[in-house]
Every structure is written in structure tokens, then in C-alpha cells.
Amino acid sequence: MRKVVSKLLALEAYPKLKDIDFRLLRAVELKMRYYRWVPLEEIAKFARMDIESASYRLGKLDDFGLVVRRSDMGYIGYQLTIHGYDALAIRSFAKKGIIEAISTTQIGVGKDADVYVALTPSGEKVAVKFNRIGERTSARKAGYHSDVFADKHHKSWLYVSRLIAKKEHEALVLLSPFAKVPKPIAWNRHAIVMEYISGVELAELRDNDLTEEEAEEILGKILDEYEKIVKFGIVHGDMSEFNVVLTDDNDILIIDWAQYLTCANPESLELLKRDITVLLNAFRRRWGVKRDFEEEWERFYEAWLIGRKEVED
């Protein structure tokens, strides 16, 4: 099971941060477009502070783990950490009245992201997904998300995480009006706020939690839903038991759309074939549900042809 537990350090620091601290974090974020290590003088200038005051406050941010300091390059420079990026995203959501509080307990952990439950100002539960590209996956970056890296010059992993969050938000906006996917609420930097759904990933279930008949019904729901999405023109690209939630009302939700492709993409057909293969193999292995791949593939290939035409038209 792909679990990597990490603390949302930004939440520990957040109550202690002042407006000037967020201005300093913002300065480092913006200047990282031009510097691998942002000079102290550039940060102070952006934040409209003297060098001594900026250095002192940045030292506090370093202690909190929101920035990293380096002084062996002939000058003093800083980088924003993923935790500093978290703090900026949380600040943006809070200022816009989207969230008021975030729990320190993770409700979802993937190979690329952490998910936390949050509350809106009206007390409604929502989920906040923080992408963690690079922190866990840099060695495998060419294996997926290749479209994000195509024809791009060097950029920080923070910015790559932002691009991938933006991509998933776009997918959810397209699909949520008609498909069983999380409804998006807001997007900022590398984080997405979406509706909170109570349920469990199929991967979390024990093999004896479902009978063969129950598993057969669930697989049917997933395949029917996915066929509808493919006809719309989108391929998930990472479909598996880890990316399907069985909700408390015994329905399904397809999650983690950061690797989606349109059916017009030359790679989409092979990825769709892999998606169907992975799903069928998981249900056969775990719950004894047997479906013929060729029969299923016939309808999904037809769906893909329809989806490609939809996208190209």
C-alpha cells in the first residue's frame, strides 16, 4: 500500500506568522523564477524591509521549516520549501473565505499528494489535496506526468506541483457536472479544495470485505462510469483500486485525475488499455470476479473513438 505519512508543518507555524512573514514567503516564491537560491537582498527589497530585519524574520521561517537558507555560494540565499508553499496556499484559501480550519490528520495519502479534511466558514467539511511532486517522485518523473515536463526549461518542483494541481482541477471542472468524481471548489498553487466524500478506497478493503457478487456489482459501476467519461473524451491514465472510492452509500467515486489525457493524445489509447487491464486484474485477483478483457475492450475502444471525435470536433 502506497502510504507515506508526513506532517503538515505549515499548520504548526501558521498561527505564529505575521503579515510580513507571508510577504517574505511570497518574495521567495516569486524570485525563485529567476534564482535557484534567492539572494537575501532581493527578498528584502521585494518585502520593503531593511536587510537586518528581513534576515531575522527569514531565520524564524527557516526554524519553522518554511524556507531553507544557504550561505556557501558567496552570498546568502533562500529557497521556499513545500511547507512554505503549503502556508501560502492555506493563506490564500483563508483570505478568500474558502476554508477556516484544517485538521492535522491525513484522510488520504498517495504517491504524489496528501489529503486533509478542512472546514469552511459555514462549518461544512471539505477536502484539501496538497501535491507533493518531487518530494517523493523525482526519480520517476519521466514515467508519468510527461506532458507537464514536455518542452519546459528548468523549473522548481514547487512549480511542477502547481502545474499538476492545475491540471487535475481542470479535469474535475470538466467531469464533475456529469461524472462520479470529486466536485472541485477552489485551486491555488499546488493545492485543490474539493467536496468531502465519506468512504474508503478499494485498496483499503480487505479481500473478505466484499463478496464476489458485491465486487461484481462495484466493478460494473466503475466500468460503466469510466466508459461514459471516455466517450466524453478523457482517459484517466492511472486507474486502479487505489483511485476508486467506495462511498458510505455504496456508490463509487473515481479520484486522482492528475494524469489524465484527452482521447486526442496519441498515448491515450495505450493508457486506456492499461487502465482496463489493471482494473480487471485487481478484481479477479482479490474477489474472484472474472470478466473477459476482449469483451470489455471492445466497448472501451468504441468509447475511445467517440471521445476522440468529441475532442477533435
Active site residue 209: no
Q: Is residue 1 in some structural domain?
A: no
The predicted pLDDT at position 6 comes to 54
> Which CATH number fits the domain that encloses residue 24?
1.10.10.10
Q: Are 7 and 104 in contact (CB under 8 A)?
A: yes
Q: Is residue 248 in some structural domain?
A: yes
Q: Are 172 and 182 in contact (CB under 8 A)?
A: yes
The predicted pLDDT at position 138 comes to 46
Q: Is residue 150 in some structural domain?
A: yes
Q: How many CB atoms lie within 10 A of CB 237?
A: 23
Domain boundary among 165, 195, 225: 195
> Which CATH number fits the domain that encloses residue 158?
3.30.200.20
Cell numbers 480487505: residue: 206
180 and 142, same domain (yes or no): yes
217 grid coordinates = 456489482
Q: Are 159 and 132 in contact (CB under 8 A)?
A: no
Q: How many CB atoms lie within 10 A of CB 54?
A: 24
Cα–Cα distance measured from residue 311 to residue 4, given in angstroms and rounded to the nearest whole number:
37
Query: C-alpha distances in angstroms, 212 versus 145, 277, 284?
Result: 35, 19, 9
Q: Is residue 2 in some structural domain?
A: no
Q: Nearest to residue 236, comparing CAs of 202, 274, 207, 266? A: 274
More confident residue, 143 or 83: 83
From 114, 238, 256, 275, active-site residue: 238
110 and 166, same domain (yes or no): yes
Domain boundary among 83, 115, 138: 83
38 and 101, same domain (yes or no): no
Confidence of residue 5 (pLDDT cuts 50, 70, 90): very low
- Report the range of poorest mean pLDDT among 105-109, 153-157, 194-198, 307-311: 153-157
190 and 91, same domain (yes or no): yes
pLDDT > 50? residue 209 = yes
Q: Nearest to residue 278, comparing CAs of 303, 243, 241? A: 241
Confidence of residue 106 (pLDDT cuts 50, 70, 90): confident
Domain boundary among 171, 195, 219: 195
| 261-302 tens-digit pLDDT | 999 999 999 999 999 999 999 999 999 999 999 999 999 999
| 110-134 tens-digit pLDDT | 778 899 999 999 999 999 999 987 6
Q: Is residue 134 in some structural domain?
A: yes
> Which CATH number fits the domain that encloses residue 303?
1.10.510.10
| Mean pLDDT of the chain, nearest integer | 91
Confidence of residue 2 (pLDDT cuts 50, 70, 90): very low
Q: Is residue 246 in some structural domain?
A: yes
Domain count along the chain? 3
Query: C-alpha distances in angstroms, 267 versus 7, 212, 264, 274?
Result: 36, 33, 9, 11
The pTM assigned to this predicted structure is 0.90
Q: Nearest to residue 283, comparing CAs of 233, 226, 218? A: 218
Q: Are 121 and 68 in contact (CB under 8 A)?
A: no
| 15-54 tens-digit pLDDT | 999 999 999 999 999 999 999 999 999 999 999 999 999 9
Determine what percent of the chain is predicted with pLDDT higher than 70. Answer: 90
The predicted pLDDT at position 146 comes to 52
140 and 159, same domain (yes or no): yes
Confidence of residue 147 (pLDDT cuts 50, 70, 90): low
pLDDT > 70? residue 151 = no
Q: Are 239 and 275 in contact (CB under 8 A)?
A: yes
Cα–Cα distance measured from residue 286 to residue 311, given in angstroms and rounded to the nearest whole number:
36
**In 3-state terms, what secondary structure has residue 87?**
helix
Pairing of strands 234-235, 199-201: unpaired
The predicted pLDDT at position 156 comes to 79
99 and 118, same domain (yes or no): yes
Pairing of strands 191-195, 244-247: unpaired
59 and 95, same domain (yes or no): no
pLDDT > 70? residue 139 = no
186 and 255, same domain (yes or no): no
Containing structural domain, residue 138:
86-195
